[in-house]
Structure 1
Amino acid sequence: MTVFYCAKCGTALTGDLVALPTVPDVGDPDDGRDKKTGRARSTVPHGYYAIDPEPWGAPFIPAPAPTPPARSTGRELLRLATPTPTPTISAGLRDSVVVHPDDVLPRLVTFTRGGNWTGCCGPTGAHGPNLACTCGSRLATWTADCLGPNELHLDPVRVYAWNLGAAARDASHDEQRP
């Protein structure tokens, strides 16, 4: 079991979470959409987390060369068209921690500035961090608009994990040393 903490103040951001081997594909984000909010079901189930090895979120840069459209995973961020029709890709951080929104939202406060909370049914997540720890550290981006995925990414630089199982194993190993 793993708990994630704010790197600035040490506040626990999650309860005990179980690691998934990869970020699940959601396929069609319309499957399982909440009728009241319009939000897709969460990418990661409640009580779990996954590490996303790919760059994710803002900033976005021009794609290096035109490529054929990839198969949709249902996790693409909705971004408004730029003045030029140049395709873009994420240049955001790798290894963000993807969690179920309900596992952290009660512990975070919204940070709305510069359009980072835009969207008709929820934030698009395309304009950078939109959630902060109570100490003010902007450490999470939630994407929950009706036209995209419903997932929450914790910034891998601004949070740290504590694995309770590994700590217990390390302690018992230390006790066995002469």
Structure 2
Amino acid sequence: MNVLVCAACGRRLSPPLRLLPELPERPAYDGRDGARRAPSTVPRGRCAVDPEPSGRPYVPHPDPEWMGAAHPGGPVMLDPDGPGCLVSAGPRGTLVVHPADTEGLLAPNPDVRRTGCCGEPEGDGPDWVCPGCGAGVASLLASCTGPYETHFLPDAVRAVPA
């Protein structure tokens, strides 16, 4: 088992985690609107590498008629500047953990604010920082139509033996 530590300062950012061989299938959107939370993709005490893009930046989906709530790379948002949806064009290879596994170990990024019923972040950078040095390290995905998971940026953390 390993713990995740900040690559910048070495502070511990997770409890001991066991790496899963692949990211479990994300729970399907249940069709309900409004603030709700899907089950977490990854069980507590586990982590997995997400091969798909995750988090910011978000870009328009090439088909303005596409409204696929089950986008494999994470949340889908309505495009505020045009028809259709925005999808993630963020980094690949993020480390996905259960959000409860980071409680009390991360600090909110003061440069990012959450808006809307789904809590999608607005602003620059990841929405969680290392409390030791302030480096941006992770983002919470918790939209009402997408997965419930915390994604650590691959270059912002290191896995070290627990």
Bin of the TM-score, shorter chain as denominator length = 0.7 to 0.9
Gaps spanning 5+ residues in structure 1: where?
Answer: 32-36, 165-178
Q: Deviations over 1:94-140 (max 9, x none)?
A: 1000001111121011114354x22326x325754111111211111
Residue correspondences, number: 158
Instruction: State the one-letter code of the partner of 1:130.
Output: D
Alignment equivalent of 2:116, drawn from 115, 119, 123: 119
Gaps spanning 5+ residues in structure 2: where?
Answer: none
Cα distance change of structure 1 residues 25 and 144 upon mapping to structure 2, 3 Å threshold:
same
Partner Cα separation in structure 2 for residue 75 and residue 59 of structure 1:
12
Residues 167-178 of structure 1 correspond to what in structure 2 (within 5 A)?
none
Alignment equivalent of 1:92, drawn from 84, 90, 97: 90
Cα distance change of structure 1 residues 38 and 85 upon mapping to structure 2, 3 Å threshold:
closer
- Bigger Rg, structure 1 or 2: 1
SS at match of 1:141: strand
Partner Cα separation in structure 1 for residue 44 and residue 56 of structure 2:
25
Cα distance change of structure 1 residues 130 and 20 upon mapping to structure 2, 3 Å threshold:
same
**Alpha-carbon offset, residue 158 of structure 1:** 0.7
Residues 111-150 of structure 1 correspond to what in structure 2 (within 5 A)?
111-115=109-113, 117-120=114-117, 123-125=119-121, 128-134=125-131, 135-150=133-148
| Deviates further, 74-83 or 16-25 | 74-83
Q: What's the TM-score once normalised by structure 2's chain length? A: 0.80
Q: What's the TM-score once normalised by structure 1's chain length? A: 0.73
Cα distance change of structure 1 residues 126 and 48 upon mapping to structure 2, 3 Å threshold:
farther
Cα distance change of structure 1 residues 109 and 59 upon mapping to structure 2, 3 Å threshold:
same
Residues 1-178 of structure 1 correspond to what in structure 2 (within 5 A)?
1-30=1-30, 38-63=36-61, 72=70, 76-85=74-83, 87-115=85-113, 117-120=114-117, 123-125=119-121, 128-134=125-131, 135-163=133-161
